[in-house]
Structure 1
Amino acid sequence: MAEKSTQNKTQATAASVQEFLAHVEHPVRRADGYRLLDLMSGISGEQAQMWGPTIVGFGRYHYKYDTGREGDAAAIGFSPRKGSLSLYGLTYGPEAAGLLARLGKHKTGAGCLYINKLDDVDEAVLTELIRIGYRHVTTVLHHARALRT
């Protein structure tokens, strides 16, 4: 029986964020990727970094599950996928539910926020989701985990 890997499949890489975004085929997703790059880096104060081949992340946090599995992940991030923009780290904070109700056209699932294009949502609400998501992941979750160890 093969041993299960406990390492996170999505690791930070040295790949170029600018090169990745330049090669996004869909012109609206590419333009939205550049807008999200500016928005998330401005709010987080972090430099963008590629996580795996398709996720642009900002900051990082360490997680540890009760199962013992642990690793690092981007605090917030996005991926301009073919079907939609996938945004990460924005739905965990307690204030997120109220903001999502005002965001505009979107879907959620498995901790992700899916948007077809940025023009479908209220950018002020998205900005607040990014702000609270980053704060929640880097301070609240980090502090809660530190208390358990």
Structure 2
Amino acid sequence: MIRKRITLTLIIIFLVFGPFGCATLGERWGDLSQDDKCRIIVNDMQDQLINLFEIGKVYVSAHPESQETWKGKIVPAISSANKAIATCILLIEGGDLTPGEAYRFIQPLINEVIGLLVDLGAIKTSSGEGSKWTQS
């Protein structure tokens, strides 16, 4: 038991102060070009949107009564967010977008999709400080 704790402590110390620690990642982020930062942010948001779409699909297949809301509200919201992502990708290629602008442009649309999935019941939120959403 003590050996496991020591090993775990050493791993944590290595991750914090080692070559792959947070400080190194921060330095690497600082070394990236604005376009690379935008690509990372947009790619992450695209992954979020794909995951939300999959969560919704699974929920609707298990709850066919929610099909109308899915097709009428959620799919158009996902489509809108996807178009915003495509626009950002084009702007990145032209060098006309900052990481902050990419985030401010796409994140509200993703938040809207999350809200619609919460209203549908596909995602449940835990109440309280620092609440997180989970798939239901």
The verdict on a shared fold, with TM-score over 0.5 as the criterion, is no
Higher strand share: 1
Q: Which TM-score bucket, shorter chain as reference?
A: 0.3 to 0.5
Task: Give the number of the structure whose alpha-carbon radius of gyration is greater.
Answer: 2
Higher relative contact order (CA 8 A, sep 6+): 2
Normalised by the size of structure 1, how large is the TM-score? 0.30
Normalised by the size of structure 2, how large is the TM-score? 0.32
Higher helix share: 2
